[in-house]
Structures are given as C-alpha cells and as structure tokens.
Amino acid sequence: MIAQSTIDKVYEIARVEEVIGDYVQLKKSGANYKGLSPFNSEKTPSFMVSPVKQIWKDFSSGKGGNVIAFLMELEHFTYPEAIKHLARKYGIEVEETVQDEEQKKLQDHKESLYLVNQFAAHHFEDLLNRSETGRAIGLSYFEERGFTSAIIKKFGLGFGGTSFDGLVKAAQEKGHQINYLTELGLCIEKDGSSVSYFDRFRDRVIFPIHSNSGRVLGFGGRILDNQKKVAKYINSPESPIYHKSKVLYGIYYAKSAMAKANNCYLVEGYTDVIQLHQNGIENVVSSSGTALSESQIRMIQRLCQTITVLFDGDDAGVRASLRNIDLILKEGMNVRVVPFAQGEDPDSFARTHSPAEVKDYLKEQSVDFISFKTQVLLKEAGTDSSKVAAAIRDLVSSIACIPDPISQELYIRQTAKDLEVSEGVLFASLADLTAKQVRDSKKATKRATPLSVVSRMSEQKKPEVNRLEVLESALIKTLLLYGNQKAFFEDEVLKEGDEGEIVTEKVIHEMKVYEKIFLELQQDELAFSNVSFQALFKRVMEFYVTADEEVSMEKFIRSLSSENDRVLVDIVSNILLEDEQYFLHDWQRKNIFAKSKEDSIDRLVTETILSLRSYLLDMQIKNLQEASKQDTHAIEEVMDYLQLGQLLNKKLNRVLSL
C-alpha cells in the first residue's frame, strides 16, 4: 500500500488545472478555466476547473471532484494508480508500506496487465540496444529510416528478438504469470498446447502503444523480411487495457502540442508519427491502420478543434481518408487536408526534407476539405456527366454531415462557385438530404421504441422541482463554503422584565457557521430528507470538528477517498461550482454579474435555515388541513402553525427566495 506521506505530498504538489490540461484544452474564464467535456461529445464548453478550490465539474455529465477523481473517471485508474501516476508526473518518490502475500494475490487484474506490458516494453528495448542481433537487425532498420537515437529512446522503440520464446522465458524468470502474457497477446500457445508457447512479436521491430497518461497499452510489430508470407504489421489484440477504437498512437507525446496549436495532424502509420516528431511536428497522431472511430475523434476534439488529414499519395489512401472526413465533420470539427505526391507519404517526405521544409509544406499545402474533395472527385469523374453529377451529390452529402447550418451555407456557396453550378440546385439537394436524414432518424427511433413507451413519453409532464431538495442543497452549500468562518448571529431569548412580565430580548452571539447550523437543526430536530445530503452533513461536521486551523475544501474532498465516497465527491464538486456556471456562458460580457454572499454570511445562514423551516411548516399545515376534514381538533393546531408561519415570514421579509 502507498504510504500516507506520499499521498499527502501528491495532493500538496499536484495542480488540478495542470493535470486536466494534459487532456482538455482549457481557457481562462474569470478565476477558473473552462473547456469541452472529456466525457461527452459537446460543442459548447460545460467543463469547469477551479484552481482555487482544486476541483473540477463537468456539468454535462454531472461528474466532478478533485484531481484524483478526474484520473479515476477518465483513465479508469484505481485510487493507487492515480496516486502513482501523479507521483511520476511530479517526480515524487512513492513510499509503500509492506504488503502481505494475501494483498499481493488480490492485486488489481488490470494493474498486473500493465506491469507485464511494461516489462515487455523494457525487454524489447533491451533487445534492440544491447543484443547483437537487435543492433544488427532492429537498430539498423530504424537508422536506415533516419531515426535518431534520441527519437528511438523517446518512443521506446524495440526489437522482438529472434528467439522462439525469449520473452516468455524472460517474463517467467521475473515471476510474471503466463496467462497474463497470453491475455495481452504477447505470446501464443503452440498447436493448442497449454505448456508450450511462442513469442508473438519475434523477428519484428516494436512500436509500444501508450495511453494518454503514458502507460503501455499494447504493441505494434513490423516484419523486416518482406519475402515472408506474413502480415507486414501486427498489433496487440483487444484486452482489458487495450481497445483499438479508443486509442491513438502518439497521443501521449502529442497532447500538449495539439492543445497549443489547436490543430492535430492525422496520419496513417507509426513511422509517419515518429518521423514528423523528429522534424519538430509534435501535434500528430495515428489511428494505426484501423478505421477512424468516433471515440478517437472525440479524444482529439477534447484537445483541439481542427484536424488536418495528411493524405498518402495513393488512390487507396485518399479514398480511406475521405471516408474519415465525413466522420470528423459529423462531430462538428474543422477539417483541413494536406496531400502528398503519388508514392509519397509523411514518413518519406520528412526523411528527404529539412524540418523547416516540412513545416513550410504542411502550412502552405493545407487546403480546405471541400476544395480537396472537389478536386479528387472531379478528377475521377472526368468528362462523364453522370459521374460528375454523382461527384456533386457526394460533395453535398459531406456538407450535410456538418451540424452548423452557417458553415453548411458557406460550403454550398463555395462548391457552387468551384463547380459553376447553381446555388439553388445545391441548396435543394442539401435540403432533400437533410429531410431524408430526419425521416430515417425518426423511423429508426420508432423501430427501436415500443409503442407503449412512446405513449408514456407523450403523457409525461415536465418534472417538478423538488423544493425541499433545493433548500437542503442550499444549506449544505453554505456549510461547505463558509462552515469554518465566524459570524455574528442574532437570537431572541425570553427574560423577565422589570415588572415581572416575560419579554423578548435580542442577543448577539459570535460562533462558527457550522456550529450555528448544527444547533439550529438540533433545536428543531431536523434531518435531511436526501440520504446523500444526510451522509455528507455528517462527514462535513466531523471534518470541521476534528480539523486544525487550516481548513479547506480541498482537504475535505481529499478525505472522501474511498469508492463509496464517489457520490459525495460528485455532490460536493457540483455544489461548490454551480455558481461558476455563468462563466461558461460569458455572462460578464453581457453585464450580468453574480452577487457575492461573503459580506453577509450571518444573513445567508439565517435566511437559509428560516426558508427551510418555512417550507417544512407549510407542508405540515397542508397535512393538518387535510386531517382536519375528519378531526376537528386539528383545526386549532393549524391555527397555531399559521401564526408561527406568519412569524417566520416576517423574519424572512421574503427577501430571499430559494
């Protein structure tokens, strides 16, 4: 287990805005940062990061929490994995307490797979750099491609060796279980045998595939003997830690550059990525020969809004990339294209040109996707009228993928001008396509949704706001924001007057907000109706009572570290950042400003409690009025409560409406 001293140091040094900035393009918004949700596909930023509170909130999915919670949500890390990742990022030495044998046996399955992959990556690197055959075969291949030793080391390139089962034996000697190697596809059973295995990546140069956080997910291997009747490239199979459609080769090395440039170069292969990196182009990734997926596009979209597709100079490569473009357009991203000459690709071009020439070429040859597609389709169509018409329809179908109607109109006008076709014809064609898409969507929905469900949906009314939950949330929010602050509270006490009569006197007390709230709830024997609020109230009160002088919500959220506390972390981050939502909509530019409540904490606390009491009193009165229809004694009780309600309303002055 990780020592508490390490955990404390990680929390002390790690900055939530820095960590999240590796995954999401963040922009300054007042005292906070905003960006697109890394959990949902969206066009308008609903993701907020607070450097002051060291928390984040995704208003589109409802997720939220501290820096650890973010890594657990996005990378699916366990709590220890998230701590270790941050420790590596910030150069913190991880101290661990002694584990017993039982704890080692219960070690997380995914962590074991990661460890085996990391071992394999080191094994392949050692073979490449330290073995005679590795240097003669593997290293020679990389050097022939122009890769420097620095770039080879950066990407962790390796060699699979020539031994039939070299990796298997090396892994077993280090105590790694064979079932993990087979699950990861690092080795394969020989002839269905369960006792004999051979290395999957032998006789190949190795390209480790990393996650966003730099962990090894799998491998790509290239055969060096072109005469062999085997696949030129093979990849690791799907596993619990490697899902091809959700991984982009090079994303770990590219994410910062992508966010900075607001642009991502999309290429086909491993060597394209590496060669461009070597030439100073770091905002580049590859789908590794697989069809581009929505998940991969959204991964890019979280970091930048433009994808520049680098086309290999062959017809097959162009056709495949054109299909990818429509997928990218559907996600609302900007698309640019850089074509290469016949027989050329990013790898070969970068090998034969200087870094300055490569950068200039990418900049100067970048064209709008519609211009490029027009050129390609018309070249294929030639002078055949029917083929030209089909090409135009193909262009319009791509434009129909764009969700923004303004962009659609601009592209239609551009296409009409380039092809010397009537705008009216193209707009009519676009309208027909859009209408067909709507009809098809409705049909699909109708087929997928039973009539009984449709009927119920039509009968459903807009859900009513749970006023009690809103009031309880307001009280929890006050407790979280101002609980440890002192304020002067006015109370009324009964005392004997000069002539022996009972009079009311106002008394001012200074106390902390959490003490005031606790006393008021105890006085009326009030409990939260929301179970999560009830649990959260208990934890917050314990935190304030036992905390030292330096109290912060960052420390409180840190205390919510178990898996069972995830719901509470979401609630806390939601409550603490709900007032920040107006920044997401740039309300300040419209001269709309949120009012600060810190100057009147005593009034805020008093009115929040009074509002809760008033609501509960109203509910009690309604119940008694219903009961009075059968019980006349209840009428007197109703009158008493009505008088109490008038008193509460007088105190509130109905200034605050929650």
CB count within 10 Å of CB 620 equals 15
Q: How far is it, in rounded angstroms, from Cα 194 to Cα 527?
A: 61
Q: How far apart are the first and last CA of the chain?
A: 46
4-89: what fold? DNA Primase; Chain A (3.90.580)
**What is the structure's pLDDT at 521?**
78
Give tens-digit pLDDT for 212-225. Answer: 888 899 999 999 87
Choose which CATH entry (3.40.50.10490, 3.90.980.10, 1.10.10.10, 3.40.50.800) describes domain 108-242. Answer: 3.90.980.10
Give tens-digit pLDDT for 162-190. Answer: 999 999 999 999 999 999 999 999 999 87
Q: Where are the domains of the chain?
A: 4-89, 108-242, 254-440, 604-652
Q: How far is it, in rounded angstroms, from Cα 382 to Cα 390?
A: 12
Question: Class assignment of domain 254-440?
Answer: alpha beta
> φ and ψ at 440, to 5 degrees?
-65, -40
Among 278-287, 509-518, 598-607, which stretch is predicted with the lowest mean pLDDT? 598-607
Tell me which of 372 and 460 has the higher pLDDT.
Answer: 372
CA 605 to each of CA 471, 473, 618: distance values in angstroms, whole numbers, following the listed order: 12, 13, 20
CA dihedral 345, 350, 353, 357 (to 10 degrees): 100
Q: Are 303 and 285 in contact (CB under 8 A)?
A: no
| Residue 138, pLDDT above cutoff 50 | yes
**What is the structure's pLDDT at 462?**
47
Q: How far is it, in rounded angstroms, from Cα 334 to Cα 329?
A: 7
This prediction has a pTM of 0.66
